[in-house]
């Protein structure tokens, strides 16, 4: 099972959500993202939010189309996205995709990236990715990973999310590395590219933000 979560970010940054709607996928709406899903004829199984970004008329439509509503007061300790992601993690999904979470307010963008840290620290074997029409973001803990070339996501960047990332090795890349130490703040691994159908990256310590992008 895959769980797709749609937040309330700018609609113009969304990819075609129907490409991610298969029999193996279920949808979760977050705040205004619930209304966006309904407009696109995608029915979320559950909705989270304080819904302070929708009108009364839109709220009526949401309530008429979503069976399970988790509604909260605006004054709370967690963001709506954190509440939705915590629910998704409890479902033991194979893959969690997050949409509508990379545009608009930068505080929400950074918060959403940091929400992905906890599963990595807890060594949960769940792949979580943030997706918009130009980028795919994921977090990785120490290990070895295979990465395939994608024509629509030519550039691959590796950004330290911890103070240090140790032993970074890149193979099959235009700019390879061998057992390199990378500190937070370094731009050494920005805009790399694969030179064959796939490559590998590995490291022994730290957390990496992996960003696949196009122009």
The per-residue pLDDT of the chain, averaged, comes to 93
Same domain, residue pair 92 and 192:
no
Same domain, residue pair 150 and 120:
no
Q: Which two tokens stand for residue 180?
A: 């390199």
Which of these three, 133, 155, 173, is where a domain ends?
Answer: 133
Same domain, residue pair 81 and 180:
no
Same domain, residue pair 85 and 28:
yes
Domain that holds residue 190: 140-213
Domains contained in the chain, number: 2
Same domain, residue pair 118 and 161:
no
Gap between the Cα atoms of 158 and 18, Å rounded: 29
Contact partners, residue 14, CB within 8 Å, separation at least 6: 6, 36, 99, 100, 132, 133
Which of these three, 73, 108, 133, is where a domain ends?
Answer: 133
Instruction: Supply the CATH number for residue 203's domain.
Output: 3.40.50.10240
Q: Express each pLDDT in 39-76 by its tens digit.
A: 999 999 999 998 888 899 999 999 999 989 998 887 78
Gap between the Cα atoms of 176 and 171, Å rounded: 6
Same domain, residue pair 109 and 160:
no
Same domain, residue pair 111 and 190:
no
Same domain, residue pair 148 and 204:
yes
pLDDT at 78 over 90: no
Q: Alpha helices of the chain — where are they, by DSSP H?
A: 32-39, 56-65, 80-90, 106-115, 117-121
Q: Express each pLDDT in 100-154 by its tens digit.
A: 998 877 888 999 999 999 888 887 778 999 999 999 999 999 999 999 999 899 9
| Residue showing tokens 């004829």 | 41
Query: What is the Cα Rg of the chain in Å?
Result: 18
SS3 state at 137: strand
Span 74-93, mean pLDDT? 89
Same domain, residue pair 103 and 185:
no
Contact (CB, 8 A) for 27 and 4: yes
Which of these three, 82, 106, 133, is where a domain ends?
Answer: 133
């Amino acid at each position: 099972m895959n769980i797709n979560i749609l937040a309330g970010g700018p609609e113009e940054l969304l990819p075609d959500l129907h490409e991610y709607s298969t029999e193996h996928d279920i949808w979760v709406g977050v705040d205004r993202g619930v209304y966006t899903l309904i407009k696109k004829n995608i029915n979320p199984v559950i909705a989270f939010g304080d819904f302070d970004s929708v009108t009364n008329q839109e709220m009526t439509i949401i309530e008429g189309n979503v069976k399970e509503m988790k509604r909260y007061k605006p004054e709370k300790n967690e963001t709506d996205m954190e509440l939705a992601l915590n629910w998704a993690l409890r479902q033991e999904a194979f893959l969690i995709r997050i949409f509508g979470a990379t545009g608009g307010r930068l505080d929400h963008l950074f918060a959403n990236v940091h929400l992905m840290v906890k599963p990595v620290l807890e060594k949960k074997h769940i792949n979580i990715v943030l997706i918009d029409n130009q980028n795919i973001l994921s977090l990785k803990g120490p290990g070895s990973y295979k990465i395939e070339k994608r024509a629509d996501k030519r550039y691959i960047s590796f950004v330290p999310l911890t103070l240090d990332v140790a032993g970074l090795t890149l193979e099959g890349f235009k700019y390879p590395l061998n057992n390199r130490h990378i500190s937070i703040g370094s731009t050494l691994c920005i805009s790399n590219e694969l030179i064959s159908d796939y490559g590998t990256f590995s490291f022994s310590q730290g957390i990496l933000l992996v960003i696949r992008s196009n122009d």
